[in-house]
Structure 1
Amino acid sequence: MQLTQFSSGDVIADRRADYARMLAESGDPAAAAELMEQALELAPAWAAGWLRFAEYLEKAGNGDGAITALRKVQELDHEEIFGARLKLALLGAIDVPDQPPSRYVEALFDDYADRFETALVERLDYSVPEKLSALLKRYRGECGPFRLAIDLGCGTGLFGVEIRSVVERLEGFDLSVNMLAKAEEKGVYDFLARADLSLDAEGSGLFVDGLSPHRADLLTAADVLMYLGDLEAPFSLVSKLSDRGAYFAFSVEDAGCDDGFHLAPSLRYAHSEAHVRRRLAAAGFDVAELERTVIRMDGGKPVSGILFIAVRKG
């Protein structure tokens, strides 16, 4: 995440923070942490500075110090933009939350929107839209177009481009207004609106402006559920949006374990097949098809995922 608030308002503190960043980038996080601590003495209410301080301390092997700094971030960051809870969970200081803070996810993608496609597709070899669309088309065969598709967490519209030719009407929803603006530029959606998939139906934004429940015969969530943790709430929303016999095409990062889900160092959630199947069944869906595949690269290493096609029970 780019720290869009990385200015303390104090010129000297900012200068010391810049020097600290250069030290960290040169491979000396301990010296960076020492200089960052001096900056924070001048700007003690600087949440983004405490977050950077925690990062340097962790890289220097001072986990306890990093935890203390992250608790200071929590104290100062009332909107949870910086996701301190997730980082504390990775350090073992608290239990892994079932969902990330919505403001953290929103801020992350608002900041990421302008470079999202370049970073994801060109540098990280992101392949979910093409692979998931191909799996859906193979499973469904030569049927007519879907009447109404809802692309949940549509982002910049990469998956919308892939399925536009097989749908009559395409709606897209995302938490980030900047990502929605990028999706609108593609001209493939009939309707776009902001929505929060971690909330209940009333608060989610998926049923505003007269949009009715049980209206879609295709629901999609490409590279979205790794920002949602426990899938009970989002799958319940999908159930409320879907008509009988509707298809649900989505991806998860593969947890590689027998059950449950976990928070990865990337601050994304990875899910087991068993957790997905259990939450789907509770929401009224049967798994029709799945495919294990590499969905992107991260730090030069392949990230394993699972692509699902599920069908709403009639």
Structure 2
Amino acid sequence: MNQDFEQAKQQFVEGLRCFEAGRYEQADEHFRSSLALLPGRPSTLTNLAATRLKLQRPQEALEIVEQALAAAPDDVDAWALRGMALVALQRQGDALEAFDRALAIDPSLAPAWSNRGAILKDMHRIPEAIVSFEKAIALGADPEVNGWLLASLTGARAPVVAPSRYVERLFDDYADSFDDHLVSVLRYQAHVALVAGLPHIAGRRHARALDLGCGTGLCGPLLQPLAGRIDGVDLSGRMLDKARTRGVYDELAQADVVQYLQSTAGRYDLVVAADVFIYIGDLDAVFAGVHRVMDAGVFCFSVEALDDGRDFALRSSQRYAHSEGYLRALAKRHGFDVAQVLQRTLREDQREPITGLLVYLTIG
């Protein structure tokens, strides 16, 4: 029995090491081996559940964490994990109950307050969401990310760009289901409409295209008939892994789009950004960067439309919207000519159409 315990402990420790290193498949194997030697151990079950979440298997994570809670009903980590699994399964009400249960056990659990705020925001319970984000920050949760989420609800002291950690984590977690959710659920069509307008602007095949914020590469196959070479850049490594499987990109870089534009040696005659600037409010550095990598060609992009007199604004959806006047002023400042601005429905949000602008600029 002691030998089984020691072997189970070694497997558990190795599982933790693999988890921390991001080797989730290996972590899963070690935790399962540990449980085979020492069945029903709550701490091993919760770590296995956390691993299944990282592997994008939330239903399995939920089933495992419920085994842990059956053995240890007051395990605060298990309740928090249950909430995270339920969020991934889009069971928001049940997830809220799980986070509330975790906070009843330990009110100082900052991540639970943050997750609670996100759920309440989606449920349109804005005052409660604000309180949750404020508590999360007070208890030590990431001030940049939670401050940005809070600003999206209050409008106060809104940063001019989404935190890179937030965007990278969001899309790393979203990578496996991104295409299906975006196209089938949100009825996303900005990439198709944006690329469809290009032949009318340039009237020729481009030598080298850059897909800014390329994500899983939805634009790549659409750009292939229009460009001899296509490069892509995105913050999310997991999204880039998906884009790589399409086989249409010559080079893919994991980087912040502004930093890439400021440092790359590449030259382009087509730069495309579909549904990217919803995470960047102040676009001045983007325009400067695109100007840097282009001698002549087309810069086209989509934005959510703003018509309240402001240049740009962070909305409660955690997305930025931009005014046409602001975009035209930026184009003039950075040496671009406005070829065309079209108003289109970009996608749906909770079954409401989101109106956006398709903008085509030329230079040289």
Same fold (TM over 0.5): yes
Distance 2:192 2:165 in 1: 29
SS of equivalent to 2:353: strand
Match of residue 301 from structure 1:
352
Unaligned runs of 5+ in 1: none
Paired letter, 2:117: A
Matched, 1:105 2:167: yes
Q: Quote how far apart the aligned CAs of 1:42 are.
A: 3.4
Match of residue 132 from structure 2:
69
TM-score normalized with structure 1 length: 0.82
Report the CA distance shift for 1:19/1:235 in structure 2 as closer, same or farther (over 3 A): closer
Which of the numbers 139, 142, 146 marks the counterpart of 1:78? 142
Which of the numbers 312, 334, 346 marks the counterpart of 1:261? 312
TM-score normalized with structure 2 length: 0.71
Paired letter, 1:94: A
Q: Quote how far apart the aligned CAs of 1:15 are.
A: 5.4
Bigger fraction of residues in strand = 1
Paired letter, 1:89: A
Q: Mapping of 1:221-236 within 5 angstroms?
A: 221-236=273-288
Distance 1:234 1:19 in 2: 37
Paired letter, 2:149: K
Which of the numbers 261, 276, 291 marks the counterpart of 1:239? 291
Paired letter, 1:305: G
Q: Quote how far apart the aligned CAs of 1:232 are.
A: 1.0
Q: Mapping of 1:1-314 within 5 angstroms?
A: 12=74, 13-14=76-77, 16=79, 18=82, 32=96, 36-44=99-107, 46-55=109-118, 61=125, 63=127, 66-74=129-137, 75-78=139-142, 80=144, 83-92=145-154, 94-141=156-203, 143=204, 145-197=205-257, 199=258, 204-206=259-261, 211-212=264-265, 215-243=267-295, 245-312=296-363, 314=364
Q: Quote how far apart the aligned CAs of 1:239 are.
A: 1.3
From the CA coordinates, give the structure whose radius of gyration is larger.
2
Distance 1:177 1:19 in 2: 26
Paired letter, 2:231: E
Paired letter, 2:241: A
Q: Quote how far apart the aligned CAs of 1:285 are.
A: 1.0
| Greater length-normalized contact order (CA 8 Å, ≥ 6 residues apart) | 1
Paired letter, 2:260: G
Contact 1:79 1:103 (8 Å CA) reproduced = no
Residues matched between the structures, number: 293
CA offsets, 1:208-251, max 9 Å, x none?
A: 6xx426x11111101101111111121111111111x2210111
Bigger fraction of residues in helix = 2
Q: Quote how far apart the aligned CAs of 1:183 are.
A: 0.5
SS of equivalent to 1:216: coil
Q: Quote how far apart the aligned CAs of 1:38 are.
A: 4.8
Paired letter, 2:141: D
Report the CA distance shift for 1:100/1:26 in structure 2 as closer, same or farther (over 3 A): closer
Unaligned runs of 5+ in 2: 1-49
Q: Quote how far apart the aligned CAs of 1:259 are.
A: 3.7
SS of equivalent to 2:113: helix
Q: Percent identity?
A: 37
Distance 2:170 2:83 in 1: 25
Contact 2:261 2:292 (8 Å CA) reproduced = no
Paired letter, 2:269: D
